[in-house]
Amino acid sequence: MSKKKQKDPGRGIAQLLQTLSKKDTASETTRGQKRNRDGTPVVTIPKVEAVREDVFPQKGTGKLMKPEKTATAPTIRDRPRRASPLAKQSSSKPISKLPNPLPGRKTSHKPDEQLKESLQPATPLSRRQDALLHTRKTLPIWPHADSIRSALRKNNILVLTGETGSGKSTQVPQFLASEPWCTKCIAITQPRRVAAISLARRVAEEMGSHFGRQSPAAKVGYCVRFDNATGPNTKIKFLTEGMLLQETLRDPTLQQYSAVVVDEVHERSVNVDLILGFLKNLVAGVEQGQKRKHPLKVVVMSATADVEALVRLFNNDSNSLDEKGSEAAETDDTDSEGSWSGISSDAESDHKDQSKKSKSQSKSNSKSKSKTSQVATCFVEGRQYPVKTTYLPEPTQDWVESALIRIFQINHREPLPGDILVFLTGQDTIESLEKLVNDYAEGQAKDVPKLLCLPLFAALPQHAQQLVFNPTPPRTRKVILATNIAETSVTVPGVRFVIDCGKSKIKQFRNRLGLETLLSKPISKSAAIQRQGRAGREAPGQCYRLYTEESYNDFDERTTPEILRCDLSHAILTMKARGVDEVVNFPFLDRPHREALEQALLQLLNLGCMSDTGSITELGLKVAKLPLTPALGRVLVEAARPERDCLSEAIDIISALSVEDVFLNLVTEERKEEAEAARRELYRREGDHMTLLVTVQRYAEEQSDRKAWCQRHFVSHRAMQNVMNIRKQLHSQSLSLLPPSSSSSSSSLTAHQPPSTLTETKAASLLRCLLRGFIANTARLMPDGSYKTLTGSQTVAIHPSSVLFGRKTEGIVFTEFVYTGKAWARGVSACQLDWMGEVVGELMGS
């Protein structure tokens, strides 16, 4: 409030503009998105023609594009149907329309029916197919079709690097579908649900096929959690990475597939790393005579991936490389030279170098094998307009201010159209910059474009997120203030200017402390390039980096893969359940640190998921099958024990813990107080978990109008719908957890229950189950009023979002332990010290 200068907008603008002219000395370089592997620019490719949105289906547009499918239909139905003119961001304004994942067709609000309508009578499938064929032929990947096919006839593995807009995700599966070896289904993995669904829809159109559940004849389908839209004739199946991993539990050799295409590998999720390792083992196993009738073809696709590392992963016997160091063996490779570089095009020389290197390594290190699989590589150029990049001449302390200056500079100098996308670190900086921009915008001259400031971050309510997709009003420029949600998950249309603060909040697990940190860190070069590229999607653009070129040069080449900075217990349990006995020998693209592995193994041992010989226990196998973290899975298994007798309630709590915040986050003091009062009937003094239980129970019991119930209690309806999906899934999966004798309890799971009351014994039972999974996350009250963890003697504070905030109780158990400037316990329940003692005793005894 001390910023008095904002109160004089006219003067503020003058000052800003003064600052602008000083900053004009910023060093400028021009770079297109096309670049060498070290991030240095390459001569920009000539542009063929304007890149139209419908030529390149936008993938990964995040949660903003809700799939038009039944599972999520309620969310869509909730939205106001009537169009409204774009107005100020009064957050409850109805939105005019949903983003349309497939331009050329109206987005339907009644998914299935309208989709069918629009597909069938209006445009016969084949006519649409013919129309699309024309645009398909203009994709950069199109000329590579034959070489991709022939590479996979000769080899089982292809590493395909294709930059944004190359068309690889939609075309590669179609290139392969008619191949003689392709007798079964092709799987294509995606990191996000929306991407899987919208790609499937697009490919179905291009093939002139029905899609998903439209018809049993559909050749293209998708499979994501809660929504399996595949049929008996599905030939091309888009699925999330997690889904494919689940399938490997039932079908370890992936018999149902002739090929697996792993897309977006450069994002390096833990799941993709596991999939690559499993596929590597599978391909190697098949070559050694493991039971698979046909070889499995694997295509690894990535935007900027380290081709060399991928080739090495599939080419070497990394186990022997790491552990055995066996003698060099001569393999007959006289005829393999051709297949190595056979189809690389633009980057041929580059890749030849790599393959030689990899090959010599494989020769000297790997064990003798009659048939080492060869890896083909292919590079496909992308399509991207050039982006002119400007650095600051000197580092800045206050990049919120620097961003503010740049926004007004752009607005004064650059003609419309051209929206601005600003990358910031989090909600707090977004909101303070939003306020500053709005204050200064008041004082702008009449002849410059108006500014429309739109925040964009994951915690923002859906309807507020949707605003970024609305067309920009006349004589107005949109300024989107975003977190890195806009880096990969959401593609904002109309952006020609990017302002990049060079930082983002990164989650990192601290093994020794057992907590995760969420701190603002410099981004990597590849992330900076990704952000920059967001300015060149539709036209040549500009990128302003709020740091110096020297700082950029100091950035890491790429973002540390998630597997090197997360809690590995889930990943290891996943591996153990799929028969990987020696985790240290698993073919990791990046090998996690020994300490992280040890910590995770210890955690699994404590949960009873593993024996002390390192093999998975029966209990561990049960936990591995659940769509939960090992700790939450352990809680569920505990709750199914007859003496605990609280499975149904545990499922309610765990479901609520599995979604983002159930309780809406209110902005003004007034609304917060209102919410407090409305929610009071849900709050339980035992803590957040019992409060969640009561919330889920009340919601589930509400038969007339659940949406209104949510509004009354300031609860997120969207989150609760998700809770109900998860709850249903967990119910059906946990029937097998119950002892066979307890048929009464299992029927009570499914039967309609009378309004529930939470007794004290039930609450105590639930808390003891929670403790069994989260004994590492317990703390006790110190004489000075602080809490210290039982195991690490770490000071921890109850998070302000907790119902126990400000309360004192002898002991607490919490389901989240995060450091953000301070160690916070989130999801907190009060518990007795002797309950903790019981669990510790059990651990010591066993």
Partner DNA sequence: GAGCACTGC
Q: What span, in angstroms and rounded, lies between the C-alpha atoms of 190 and 206?
A: 19
Quickly count: other Cβ atoms within 10 Å of residue 187's Cβ: 22
Which element (helix H / strand E) includes 656? Answer: helix 647-657
Q: Does 592 bind DNA (CB under 7 A)?
A: no
Cβ partners under 8 Å of residue 655, min gap 6: 696, 723, 724, 726, 727, 730
SS3 478: strand
Which one of the spans 273-281, 345-353, 759-767, 797-805 is the region binding DNA (CB under 7 A)? 797-805
Contact status, residue 434 vs residue 413, Cβ threshold 8 Å: no
Q: Does 193 bind DNA (CB under 7 A)?
A: yes
Q: Please identify, using beta-carbon distances, which residue of 247 and 348 lies nearer to DNA.
A: 247
Q: Which residue is listed with tokens 């100098």?
A: 413
**Chain residues 84-143 in contact with DNA, contact rule CB under 7 A:** none
Q: Does 784 bind DNA (CB under 7 A)?
A: no
What is the DSSP pairing of strand 515-522 with strand 503-510?
A: antiparallel
SS3 727: helix
Characterize 107-122 residue by residue with b for buried, 16 or more Cβ atoms within 10 angstroms of its Cβ, and e for exposed.
bbeebeeebeebbeee
Q: Please identify, using beta-carbon distances, which residue of 315 and 658 lies nearer to DNA.
A: 658
Q: Please identify, using beta-carbon distances, which residue of 444 and 629 lies nearer to DNA.
A: 629
Pick the binder of DNA from 66, 268, 570, 706 (CB under 7 A): 570
Q: Does 683 bind DNA (CB under 7 A)?
A: no
Q: Does 627 bind DNA (CB under 7 A)?
A: yes
Q: Does 821 bind DNA (CB under 7 A)?
A: yes
Contact status, residue 505 vs residue 427, Cβ threshold 8 Å: no
Q: Does 618 bind DNA (CB under 7 A)?
A: no
Q: Does 237 bind DNA (CB under 7 A)?
A: no
Which element (helix H / strand E) includes 391? Answer: strand 387-391
Pick the binder of DNA from 226, 348, 443, 585 (CB under 7 A): 226
Q: What span, in angstroms and rounded, lies between the C-alpha atoms of 300 and 272?
A: 10
Which element (helix H / strand E) includes 453? Answer: strand 450-456
Which one of the spans 101-109, 142-150, 426-434, 495-503 is the region binding DNA (CB under 7 A)? 426-434
Q: Does 800 bind DNA (CB under 7 A)?
A: yes
Q: How far is the CB of 205 from DNA (least distance, A)?
A: 22
Q: Does 194 bind DNA (CB under 7 A)?
A: yes
Q: How far is the CB of 687 from DNA (least distance, A)?
A: 15
Q: Among 393, 395, 394, 424, which Cα is nearest to 407's?
A: 424
Q: How far is the CB of 355 from DNA (least distance, A)?
A: 33
Q: What span, in angstroms and rounded, lies between the C-alpha atoms of 556 and 46?
A: 30
Q: Does 824 bind DNA (CB under 7 A)?
A: yes
Contact status, residue 99 vs residue 466, Cβ threshold 8 Å: yes
Which one of the spans 188-196, 206-214, 331-339, 697-705 is the region binding DNA (CB under 7 A)? 188-196
Q: Please identify, using beta-carbon distances, which residue of 171 and 491 lies nearer to DNA.
A: 491
Q: Does 560 bind DNA (CB under 7 A)?
A: no
Q: Please identify, using beta-carbon distances, which residue of 159 and 199 lies nearer to DNA.
A: 199
Q: Does 33 bind DNA (CB under 7 A)?
A: no
Pick the binder of DNA from 112, 820, 840, 843 (CB under 7 A): 820
Q: Give 325: exposed, middle or buried? Use CB within 10 Å, 0-12, 13-18, 19+.
A: exposed
Q: Does 677 bind DNA (CB under 7 A)?
A: no
Q: How far is the CB of 11 from DNA (least distance, A)?
A: 31
- Residues in binding contact with DNA, number by CB under 7 A: 56
Q: Does 224 bind DNA (CB under 7 A)?
A: yes
Contact status, residue 323 vs residue 583, Cβ threshold 8 Å: no
Q: Please identify, using beta-carbon distances, which residue of 156 and 658 lies nearer to DNA.
A: 658
Q: Which residue is listed with tokens 């002797």?
A: 834
264 token code pair: 């977006």
Which one of the spans 126-134, 235-243, 595-603, 606-614 is the region binding DNA (CB under 7 A)? 235-243
Q: Please identify, using beta-carbon distances, which residue of 296 and 490 lies nearer to DNA.
A: 490
Which one of the spans 243-251, 383-391, 495-503, 761-769 is the region binding DNA (CB under 7 A)? 243-251
Q: How far is the CB of 549 from DNA (least distance, A)?
A: 25
Which one of the spans 76-84, 548-556, 799-807, 829-837 is the region binding DNA (CB under 7 A)? 799-807
Q: How far is the CB of 428 from DNA (least distance, A)?
A: 6
Which one of the spans 537-545, 647-655, 800-808, 828-836 is the region binding DNA (CB under 7 A)? 800-808
Q: How far is the CB of 711 from DNA (least distance, A)?
A: 19
Q: Does 199 bind DNA (CB under 7 A)?
A: no
Q: Please identify, using beta-carbon distances, which residue of 244 and 499 lies nearer to DNA.
A: 244
CA 171 to the chain's CA centroid: 23
Q: What span, in angstroms and rounded, lies between the C-alpha atoms of 720 and 697?
A: 11
Q: Does 278 bind DNA (CB under 7 A)?
A: no
**x/- map, 716-755, DNA, by CB under 7 A:** -------------x---x----------------------
Sign of CA dihedral 515, 521, 524, 527: positive
Contact status, residue 326 vs residue 320, Cβ threshold 8 Å: yes
Q: Does 188 bind DNA (CB under 7 A)?
A: no
- DSSP readout, 171-193? HHHHHHHTSTT--SEEEEEESSH
769 token code pair: 């189950």
**x/- map, 490-529, DNA, by CB under 7 A:** x-------------xxxx----------x-----------
Q: What span, in angstroms and rounded, lies between the C-alpha atoms of 406 and 430?
A: 15
**Chain residues 43-62 in contact with DNA, contact rule CB under 7 A:** 62
Contact status, residue 777 vs residue 825, Cβ threshold 8 Å: yes
Q: Please identify, using beta-carbon distances, which residue of 203 and 571 lies nearer to DNA.
A: 571
Q: Please identify, using beta-carbon distances, which residue of 295 and 627 lies nearer to DNA.
A: 627
Q: Please identify, using beta-carbon distances, which residue of 322 and 590 lies nearer to DNA.
A: 590
Q: Does 617 bind DNA (CB under 7 A)?
A: no
Q: Among 335, 354, 334, which Cα is nearest to 344's?
A: 354
Pick the binder of DNA from 16, 65, 148, 243 (CB under 7 A): 243
Q: How far is the CB of 718 from DNA (least distance, A)?
A: 12
Contact status, residue 175 vs residue 145, Cβ threshold 8 Å: yes
Contact status, residue 388 vs residue 496, Cβ threshold 8 Å: no
Q: Does 246 bind DNA (CB under 7 A)?
A: yes
Pick the binder of DNA from 99, 165, 242, 277 (CB under 7 A): 242
Q: Please identify, using beta-carbon distances, which residue of 193 and 545 lies nearer to DNA.
A: 193
* HEC profile of 543-609: EEECCCHHHHHHCCCCCCCHHHCCCCHHHHHHHHHCCCCCHHHCCCCCCCCHHHHHHHHHHHHHHCC
Pick the binder of DNA from 166, 214, 240, 444 (CB under 7 A): 240
Q: Please identify, using beta-carbon distances, which residue of 385 and 824 lies nearer to DNA.
A: 824
Q: Does 225 bind DNA (CB under 7 A)?
A: yes
Q: What span, in angstroms and rounded, lies between the C-alpha atoms of 698 and 829?
A: 20
How far are the Cα atoms of 113, 229, 493, 589 from residue 108, in angstroms, in the given order?
A: 9, 18, 20, 42
**Chain residues 467-486 in contact with DNA, contact rule CB under 7 A:** 483-485
Q: What span, in angstroms and rounded, lies between the C-alpha atoms of 549 and 394?
A: 9
Q: What is the binding site for DNA (CB under 7 A)?
A: 62-63, 191-194, 224-226, 228, 240, 242-243, 246-247, 249-250, 269, 425-428, 457-459, 483-485, 489-490, 504-507, 518, 562, 570, 625-629, 658, 661, 665, 672, 729, 733, 799-801, 805, 820-822, 824
